Amino acid sequence: MFWKCSNQARLISMMSMTSTLMVIEFVIGYITHSSVLLADSFHMLSDVIAALNALLCIRMSPKEWKINTFGWARLEIVGALANSVFLYALCFNIFIQALKRFFIIQHLENPQLILIAGGTGLIFNIIGISIFFGSNEMIMAGVFLDAVADTLGSLVVLTSAFIFLLSDWEYRFYLDPLLSLVIVLIISCSTWPLLRRSTTILMNCVPDGFDVDNIREDIINKFKSITNVVELNVWTLNGRDHVVSCELESVLPNKNIICQQEQQLPKEKSFEFQNNHMNLLNEVKTYFHDIGLHNSTVDIQYKSNSLKNNNNNEEILEEPAVLKIEHSDS
């Protein structure tokens, strides 16, 4: 049922559940002096912010923006990065508070309430996982990871409550701050992939699954007329849409087309050159499309194949000819 809903409906549902659970855990954590429950409630707050950010990104991404030709397509990446940084700042705060509890012991009150909060959180988080399971969008996947981490956090809360209810272990009061550190570890591990991925995308790194050196070699091997790959840039816009721009060098397809600098080609030769150029361009673009680079910009420069002698009687490649192609409607 959930997978048939729109992303906006999923996010609104998740925000409603998470906000309710956050308030429940914060109030009960404050009443019972449970640091693990307070830590989990703050994690819920980050989830509400992440879901709100995802909802904003979905609504803003399709809009056009005059000063950015890609529009708001990367807003979700910026949001994912901001959420990751917020979570790590939250982890640092929880870590400090947990360390204090090792030296200043606080007795838990009404562990039954902690058990109720943990059980409610577990149910809500399982529903959240079912809502976002299978999402491919980066920011939606981030919300899914938050739900998984929350589920583990709820299990930690339940473990703490059961031990306090069923055991008279003398060191059980150290268990609460210790499990708070476990939640810090869970949050940190679940956040790291999101932080790494959002950072690499914003830095225009080569997407996973692409090797620039292999692409260069493939271009040279597949297209005999291409002699050199001058420049090749591969990056991703938002983790799904990959982009490539390249500058290639090629020999003129027909030696009879070779001309001197600034010399204008005859009309029939111009048509022949243009046709060969478009065929090569389409073949290169098709190659990029086949390997998953659907947004491509290709610049092909042509050089003559003839040689000339310099002052030292050494043969060097002649300067590339400048071809002026005439276009006529007749």
pLDDT category at 215 given cuts 50, 70, 90 is very high
Average pLDDT over residues 241-259: 72
Q: Which two tokens stand for residue 101?
A: 């509890």
> Which residues are within 8 A (CB) of 329 and not within 5 positions of it... i.e. 6 or more apart?
none
The Cα 222–Cα 209 span in angstroms is 20
The CB-side HSE value for 326 (13 A sphere, CA atoms) comes to 10
Q: Are 33 and 164 in contact (CB under 8 A)?
A: no
The region of weakest confidence among 80-94, 199-213, 221-235 is 80-94
The predicted-structure confidence for 279-324, as pLDDT tens digits, reads as follows 888 889 999 998 888 888 888 887 765 444 445 443 333 444 434 3
The region of weakest confidence among 42-46, 142-146, 228-232 is 142-146
Long-range contacts of 277-283 (CB under 8 A, 24+ apart): 277/302, 280/223, 280/225, 280/226, 280/250, 280/253, 283/223
The Cα 130–Cα 319 span in angstroms is 64
Q: Are 207 and 181 in contact (CB under 8 A)?
A: no
Q: Are 80 and 194 in contact (CB under 8 A)?
A: yes
Q: Which two tokens stand for residue 30?
A: 């404050």
Query: Can you list the positions of beta strands (E) in the chain?
Result: 226-236, 242-251, 295-303, 307-309, 315-317
Domains of the chain: 2-202 (1.20.1510.10), 212-317 (3.30.70.1350)
Length of the chain: 330
Query: Which residue's entry shows tokens 């879901």?
Result: 51
Q: What does pTM read for this prediction? A: 0.68
Q: Are 25 and 41 in contact (CB under 8 A)?
A: yes
Q: Are 61 and 76 in contact (CB under 8 A)?
A: yes
More confident residue, 127 or 144: 127
Q: Which residues pair with 313 in a beta bridge?
A: none
The predicted-structure confidence for 316-327, as pLDDT tens digits, reads as follows 334 444 343 333
Q: What is the pLDDT of residue 233?
A: 92
Q: Which two tokens stand for residue 200?
A: 């690499």
- DSSP for 80-95, please give it: HHHHHHHHHHHHHHHH
**Dihedrals phi, psi of 182, to nearest 5 degrees:** -65, -40
